[in-house]
Amino acid sequence: MKRSTVLSLSAIAGVAVVGGALAIGLPQENASAATNVATGFASQNGGTTGGAGGAVVKATTGTQIHEALCKRAAASTPITIQVEGTINHGNTAKVSGSSCNTAAGLIELKGVSNVTIVGVGAGATFDQLGIHIRDSSNIVIQNVTIQNVKKSGSPLSNGGDAISMESTVRNVWVDHSTLVASGGESAGFDGLFDMKDDTQYVTLSYSILRNSGRGGLIGSSETDTGNSFITFHHNKYENLDSRTPLLRGGVAHMYNNHYLKLNESGINARAGAKAKVENNYFQNSKDVLGTFYTAAAGTWQTAGNVLDNVTWSAKGTEYNPAGPSMASTTTVAVPYTAVLDSAACVPSIVAATAGAGTGLKVSDGKCAVTANPTATATTSPTKAPTTSPTKAPTTSPTKAPTTSPTTAPTKAPTAAPTTSPSASASQPTGANLSLVGSADGSSKMSGTSFGYVKDGKTTTYWSPNGTTGEVSIKWGTATKVARINIVPASGSSIGAYQVVNGSTGAVLKSGTGAGVITFPATSLTKLTFKITSSTTTPKIAEFQTFAS
């Protein structure tokens, strides 16, 4: 990365302007944590580079952020503002100048362009104070946390939105950020990520939206349909009531997002909207896609999504869920190339990359995490997986995905099982093939999930409704497996089992207990671990599969 000049705000008033750039005599330092390569729709319309090529300024208060904007040569002079510490009402005052239009109580990017705001060092938290983008273009917001912004109660900021864009906004990229609330509208909060009144070419990537009544909207009413060309990818939406997002008119592309605990509804396409919904993982949620609360219908194109414990309501005059089949109702073209991860690995990829403070890690498009080569973030990165998948699956676990997988029923054994001790002492080597597969099963206890047996965590698990049941790993193409590792949850035990080729019903191994189990290498598309007896309710934390 090009070495950037860092200005201290105490000295900025004495900086000379030379040819539209800031000239200073301070030592140079490679301190910028921002990357200048936008993705999705933000890469179109000339691209989104923020303050690339301009001065780099450090700020520890909201007032200093405003000062940095106001002391530029012009409202379009590029600038990167590195933020560290907590920004709140007490340290965010209005600052005046010819290159800005700020306000107290929120970060105001009004009538400006070519600006990057990026969290560095120990991190940047905007506490109860939002970021408002108005009549502006080419804005990058990266590696920040914005929390508990209120529209009612005290203190107030930004209409209750964590980030809002309105009134002729173009090319905004929000990346590796965390947007959180502590309740819904009745508790004083509004949207986490809102766009209205002619906002276009926006990407939200590798971010977390959590604990709010409303994730965000695109269009403030059924007549505000000029907002368009929005991309959402590799984000985690968790514990939200609705609007993930609400899309009125326009085109949006949602891919490789993890939607977890959408309590009332999810992606709400209305008023002629067109949503391209690909390779997302929807989990423990209700009505994740459709047209809700209006008769003004929207449309969608779906492919490769995973539905894990998703429930659907009945259709009504003003309520049209897309499920359970989630069949496409339109086609949507996007002008950029996106390399999509398989939906099955999205929870683990998003867990390792999304949000502030994750080291700006990204996916390589093959279900593995990689460092962002153009970023020099100073926060501690999340450890990346050490294995890569062999091929992306095309099927999905549990309930109906957007394409109907062919799932072979478990048949009666074709040969007498060979009883053997359960756990082999030889530990498996190579890639865990389950990470690129999907999961389903015969039953599950409330609060557990088939997908938990392949999420890389021993704190989550699948458990049957009772002492017997089965869980399977599936692949879109024939995959050779010769060894598995059944990892029980803490305090749990496994009784008698069968390892079954789910494609043919043949029993490959039987025994008791958990651990490493070997059998003759078999090429298959589905492998089932069937618990035939147990003294207590079994709990499987991980169902790992290996070629050798």
Q: Which residues touch 511 (CB under 8 Å, ≥6 apart)?
A: 419, 420, 421, 422, 496, 497, 517
Q: What is the spatial distance between Cα 116 and Cα 37, in angstroms, rounded to a whole number? A: 12
399: left (phi over 0), alpha (psi -120 to 50) or beta: beta
Residue that the structure tokens 């200005």 belong to: 7
Strands 369-370 and 362-363 come out as antiparallel
Peptide bond just before 155 cis, omega within 30 deg: yes
SS3 320: strand
Helices (H), 10-85: 62-70
Q: For residue 266, which of 323, 333, 325 has the smallest C-alpha distance?
A: 323
Q: What is the spatial distance between Cα 325 and Cα 288, in angstroms, rounded to a whole number? A: 12
AA identity, residue 190: D
Rounded (10°) CA dihedral 345, 348, 351, 353: -70
Write down the catalytic residue from 243, 248, 270, 483: 243
Q: Is the Cβ–Cβ distance between 57 and 6 less than 8 Å?
A: yes
AA identity, residue 138: N
Q: What is the spatial distance between Cα 450 and Cα 462, in angstroms, rounded to a whole number? A: 6
Q: For residue 171, which of 275, 266, 43 has the smallest C-alpha distance?
A: 43
Q: For residue 201, which of 138, 256, 271 has the smallest C-alpha distance?
A: 138
Q: Which residues touch 332 (CB under 8 Å, ≥6 apart)?
A: 251, 253, 274, 275, 276, 300, 301
105: left (phi over 0), alpha (psi -120 to 50) or beta: left
Does the active-site annotation cover 243?
Answer: yes
Beta bridge partners of 274: 251, 299
Catalytic residues: 243
